[in-house]
Amino acid sequence: MILQSIELNNFMCYAGSNKFEFTDGINVIIGDNGYGKSKLFDAFYWVMYDKCFDTSKKDFVPTNKLKRLLVSDKTLAEMEDGIVTTSVVLTFHNTEKDSIYILERRYKVRKDFEKLTEDPESEEIVRFKEMSYLNAREVTDISQIDSIKRTILPDNIKPYMWFQGEQVESIIDFNKENTLTQAINVLSNITKFDNIIAVANSLKESSTKELNKKQRDLSGDKSKSENLELQRQALAARIKALELQDLQIKDNLATAEEKSETLLNKLAEAQKIRELEEKRKSKERNLQEVQNELNDEQQNFHKRMFTSKWILKGTEGLFEEYSKIYNQFEQRKLVRKVEIQVRVDAENELNKVMFQLPIDVPEPIHLENMLSMEKCLVCDREAVIDSEPWLNMKMLLERSKMKIKTLEEEDETRHDFSADLKKLYQNGLGLSHNINSIDDEIASTFRRLRKLDKRRKTLSEDLSNIESEVNSLIVDAALNPSQANNLLNEYSAQNDLAKRSQREVDSVAHDINKKREELVDIENQLSSLVTGEIPAYLNEKVKVLEQFYQITHSTRKRVFHQLVAMLEAEANKHYLEMIQGNLSVRGVIRFKELSNGKNYMPELVDENGNVLLQLNTGNIILIKLATIMAIISARQGSRATDLYTLITDAPMSVFGEDYTIGFCKTVSKVYRQSIIMSKEFYRNEDLRRQLLTNAEIKLGKVYLITPTIQETDRTNRNSLSTNIKALN
């Protein structure tokens, strides 16, 4: 069965009519994140199962929960009142019978004055053409529709054929008891062996009961036999309970072993995450310190304009000019001072001559006395007040009081700024020494700023590298830093649990053996009480059914192991093909049987069978994808794989680009037709070229999808549609 085409009308980001056609081989839809790859996967799934994948819930959500989310926003926005129909049509071609199946799903929303009325459910239309050239007839019978869908993709195959990259972990979840058994069921008829075991168990029990009854009937001491039978039944019940306990403990042991192994694989990554986290914190502290230092330095830089007088840079000429003017001023001042001094001295000399008292004139005190007495005591004559002699005496007294002029007195009469000017000069003199060193200081500060900035950038880059390394490790290992921190404790706890469970298993096994011995003893006693003869057919029946019981169990185990070995060989074939692009990867896959005999854990072992510990998540996903492919390829020959198309979205996103081409080669070998959505070929053009030209890849159609408006330029999706470009 080949999926010929998918037509999308107004489905999510696919506004308007869109069509992809497919052929045999690997068909690839290339697009970056958010370009519509997952929506295309949703479209396939929606038609078949009326559900779409919700990435946040990691689960499929039905139409009645999605409703208008299924409809293109652009179509809704552009539509005036009326009905908007979303539909997706899948066309399958059965190339052997040349018949065609057309599966369509529709969903309607009515728009009425901006009010939306959503249909509660979608509508499914299935058409069938017996021959491709005939007209299609609609299939209305529900059971026939189901049968057609099962023909297109049986339920047991579905998980391995149509899956999201994010589902790979859960499809092949080795922690779940039945994962490998389910895979083996797809691969084989192992359930038939299980059903035959159920028949053998039941027959063994009934034949034993029949024999016991016969023994009691033929007993020589019926009462003792009854008593022994009661003991036998009690013992058998006890053994059954112990066996059940044994199974439960073994399950616990297996779970603890699985968890220990999973944790062990993540231990190195957890350790690295922890180390990187510490490194990140330390770098963050350093960066903060350097940033603070840089901030301080930048603030100081501005302050130092004043504190370190950098503002004076370039004023050297001003000082020199001032200094010159000041010197001239000082000189002039000096000259003026000398001139004044000379004049004052001259005036004083003159005054001395002019106003000096005659030698015979008494001292002023005597003159004052004479004036008050109104009598000249020198000549002993009357000198009435205001008379000529009295006035002459007074004149003499006043002349004696005349002062000698000083330079200061002369200067008192003027505005004197010389002190300020001098201070300015002195300040300027002091500053002129600083000015010469400003350039050096500024240069040194800039050097320091540059150094700090460089350190900040380096630390910032280191921090960003560490963060990206941590993030990629967190994604790869599916561990967050706190989980990584707890991992070691959890690992120890699981190890302890495994050891404890092992001790319990040994102890229960001892009890069971002891009880079985007691049971044999009782059965012997019961046999010894038989007086008649047990019919030969009954003995034969018990013997045959005991052997039937033994071989059904041992054969089922053997067949299962053979299937696991086959699956392992197939998985290894695909694993080796996929890792060809990266020679650093080594080892082969081994499915290790756990203690309960039911669960298996994948391991990578070297050529000597030594386990390669601590696989990263990329390795584990590769192993899981190899196992999925093994389940399909192991069925080759039953033509099962020729009948179904692999449809998967982003299966390669977890492992590196080194494996992308290897994955495509393997897929094109294992599946007759596959449809892969990938971003790897969008980002890496060399990889895209290899895809389009590699002769080992059986290539179908390749499309490039791009949104009409980039996510970063969108405020809403009202004008969003998807461009589809065929690359081959």
Partner 1 sequence: MTKEEILRSYLSDDLFIREGYLKDGEAEKYRWVTPGTNNLIDVLKLAIEGEVANESENIIEKKINILLNRQS
Residues that bind partner 1 (CB under 8 A): 188-189, 192-193, 195-196, 198-200, 202-203, 206-207, 535-538, 540-541, 544-545, 547-548, 550-552, 554-555, 558-559
DSSP 8-class letter at 218? T
- The sign of the torsion formed by the CA atoms of 626, 628, 632, 634 equals positive
DSSP-based three-state secondary structure for 727: coil
* Side chain identity, residue 305: M
666 token code pair: 């393997």
Helix pair angle (190-217, 179-187), 10° resolution: 100
C-beta separation of 699 from 693 below 8 A: no
Report how far apart, in Å, the C-alpha atoms of 287 and of each of 297, 326, 459, 466 are.
15, 53, 6, 13
Residue closer to partner 1, measured from CB, 193 or 355: 193
Helix 617-633 vs helix 418-477: crossing angle, to nearest 10 = 30
Q: How far is the CB of 545 from partner 1 (least distance, A)?
A: 7
Tokens for 615, please give them: 């696989």
Alpha helices in 579-693 (DSSP H): 617-633, 640-643, 660-670, 680-683, 685-693
Q: Measure the CA–CA gap between 122 and 706, rounded to whole angstroms.
A: 28
CA-to-CA separations, 9 to 27, 74, 79, 132, 723, in angstroms, rounded: 21, 12, 14, 23, 13
User: Tokens standing for 324?
Assistant: 């010159």
Q: Kindly state the smallest distance separating residue 216's Cβ from partner 1, in Å.
A: 18
CA distance 562 to 570: 12
Residue appearing with tokens 């046999």: 527
Closest distance between partner 1 and the C-beta of residue 551, in Å?
5
Least Cβ distance, residue 570 to partner 1 (angstroms): 17
Q: Which is nearer to partner 1, 189 or 492 (CB)?
A: 189
Number of neighbours of residue 228 by Cβ within 10 angstroms: 23
- Contacts (Cβ under 8 Å, ≥6 apart) of 289: none
Q: Residue 190 Cβ, how far from partner 1 at the closest point, in Å? A: 9
Least distance in Å: CB of 211 to partner 1?
A: 12
- To the nearest whole angstrom, how small is the minimum distance from the Cβ of residue 562 to partner 1? 9
| Cβ neighbours for 688, distance < 8 A, ≥ 6 positions apart | 30, 681, 682, 727
- From the centroid of its chain, how far is CA 32? 18
DSSP H helices in 27-78: 37-49, 63-66, 73-78
Please identify, using beta-carbon distances, which residue of 70 and 200 lies nearer to partner 1: 200
Pairing relationship of beta strands 51-54 and 25-30 according to DSSP bridges: unpaired
The three-state secondary structure class of 118 is strand
Pairing of β 115-118 and β 25-30? unpaired
Encoding tokens for residue 532?
A: 């008649």
Region of residue 707 (left: phi > 0; alpha: psi -120 to 50; beta: else): beta
Question: Of the candidates 720, 721, 708, 650, which has an alpha carbon nearest to the alpha carbon of residue 682?
Answer: 650
- Our CA dihedral for 495, 496, 499, 500, rounded to 10 degrees, sits at -150
Query: Of the two residues 202 and 464, which places its CB atom closer to partner 1 in the complex?
Result: 202
Query: Would you say 206 or 528 has its CB closer to partner 1?
Result: 206
- Return the number of the residue (567 or 585) whose C-beta is nearest partner 1: 567
Strand partners, 91: 5, 102
Q: Would you say 638 and 191 are in contact if contact means Cβ atoms under 8 Å apart?
A: no
> Looking at beta carbons only, is 559 or 709 nearer to partner 1?
559
- Smallest distance from the beta carbon of 566 to partner 1, in angstroms? 13
Structure tokens at 538: 């009954």
Of 174, 60, 26, residue with least CA distance to 624? 174
CB of 514 vs partner 1, minimal distance in Å: 27
Residue 218 CB, nearest approach to partner 1 (Å): 15
Q: Cβ closer to partner 1: 318 or 565?
A: 565
The closest of 300, 292, 698, 247 to 505, measured between CA atoms, is 247
The distance of closest approach from Cβ of residue 690 to partner 1 in the complex, given in angstroms and rounded to an integer, is 41
